[in-house]
């Protein structure tokens, strides 16, 4: 399953946001992988602080379960000063609907 969403980092904190992701904590990476995340990328539009996130996950329920882990909650607290967040310190996200997809046939 492919998912995409947008978040916002304060433009003045964009460099720090990027630094904190290079690399993410190994235990957070392992948690994501253990919850069926196959690929996960975040792109930054520096001028606006807009973040575009794209992930391929085994299931939506497994993806959502990451939010219940201690390491994810700790990561949210760590990142909250840089971003627009909800009351529980999770990043405020705006879901994006897929309207087009093309993929090469692996048999070709």
Alpha helices in 1-108 (DSSP H): 14-20, 26-34, 60-65, 70-79
Task: Give every CB contact of residue 29 below 8 A, 6+ residues apart in sequence.
Answer: 23
Q: Judge whether 21 counts as a catalytic residue.
A: yes
What three-state secondary structure class fits 78?
helix
Q: Quote the CA–CA distance of 26 and 47 in Å, as a whole number.
A: 29
**3-state DSSP assignment of residue 26:** helix
The residues annotated with a catalytic role in the active site are: 21
């Amino acid at each position: 399953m492919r998912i995409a969403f947008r978040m916002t980092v304060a433009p003045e904190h964009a460099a720090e946001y990027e630094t904190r992701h290079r690399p993410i904590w190994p235990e957070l990476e392992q948690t994501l992988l253990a919850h069926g995340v196959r690929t996960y990328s975040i792109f930054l539009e520096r001028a606006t602080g807009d973040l575009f996130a794209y992930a391929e996950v085994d299931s939506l329920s497994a993806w959502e379960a990451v939010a219940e882990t201690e390491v994810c909650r700790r990561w949210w607290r760590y990142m909250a000063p840089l971003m627009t967040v909800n009351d529980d310190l999770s990043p405020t996200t705006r879901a994006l609907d897929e309207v087009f997809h093309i993929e090469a046939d692996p048999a070709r």
